[in-house]
Amino acid sequence: MSWASTALYYRWINEHVQQHLGGLHSAKLLLVSVDFHDIERLQAAGDWVGAGRVLVQAARTLEAAGAEALVVCTNTMHKVAPQIQAAVGIPLLHIVDATAQAIQQAKVERVGLLGTRFTMEQAFFRDYLQQRHHVSVLTPPQPDRDLIHRVIFEELCQGHLVQTSREHYRRVIQDMVTAGAQAVILGCTEIALLIQPGDASVPLFDTTRLHAQAAATWALTCP
């Protein structure tokens, strides 16, 4: 939900639309940008109901303005996706569905997962992927989860790219490959700022790009 990953969504949605339609076409979209400082405080306090209320209000604002589908541009806040979907009458295009489709097309059965501590440790992402899409999920050990989480909040969400952090991420990815991961999910919408396909020996599934492309495809093909 940081401005850094919001910019990626906006760029990639528009690029996908332009590539499909050509010329000077761009995406018709509505955007509500929340203050991530407030969301992070609610996350840290474990007040997911309160955080959900903020996003429900944003979703209702978009629906009232004419949006025909909803994209929540964050992995972690999909924890409250059911709360958001129940509050609006338009479909929510789930980030895990978009990611799972690419994983299944690649015939990958076991993936490593990087993301915030909440995404790696809580059930909402892993269970959705495992139970609905039958993909097995590995996560790093606790010290590495702490490292991944710290870099996201203290560096990436603030637009800082640090080479030593990139090297740490590369090592964590390789450790998961050694542990049996056939691919790795970049399960935080800021990680793609730091990690590219060349940083891993296995395929990387970037949830940000996949979600943005899925949203643009939906918009281009819906009735």
With b for 16 or more beta-carbon neighbours within 10 A and e for fewer, the 9-35 pattern comes to bbebbbbbbeeeeeeeeebebeeeebe
Q: Is 188 a catalytic residue?
A: yes
Catalytic residue among 74, 76, 189, 208: 74
Q: Is 221 a catalytic residue?
A: no
SS3 category, 155? coil
What number of residues does the chain have? 223
Q: Count Cα neighbours of 31 within 13 Å in the Cβ-side half-sphere.
A: 15
Catalytic residue among 188, 189, 207, 208: 188
Q: C-alpha angle with apex 115: 11 to 51, nearest 5 degrees?
A: 80
Q: What are the φ and ψ backbone dihedral angles of 202, each rounded to 5 degrees?
A: -130, 165
CA distances from 112 to 121, 146, 189, 206 (A): 13, 16, 16, 12
Which helix (H) or strand (E) covers residue 111, if one does? strand 110-114
Is the Cβ–Cβ distance between 153 and 190 less than 8 Å?
Answer: no
Positions marked catalytic: 74, 188
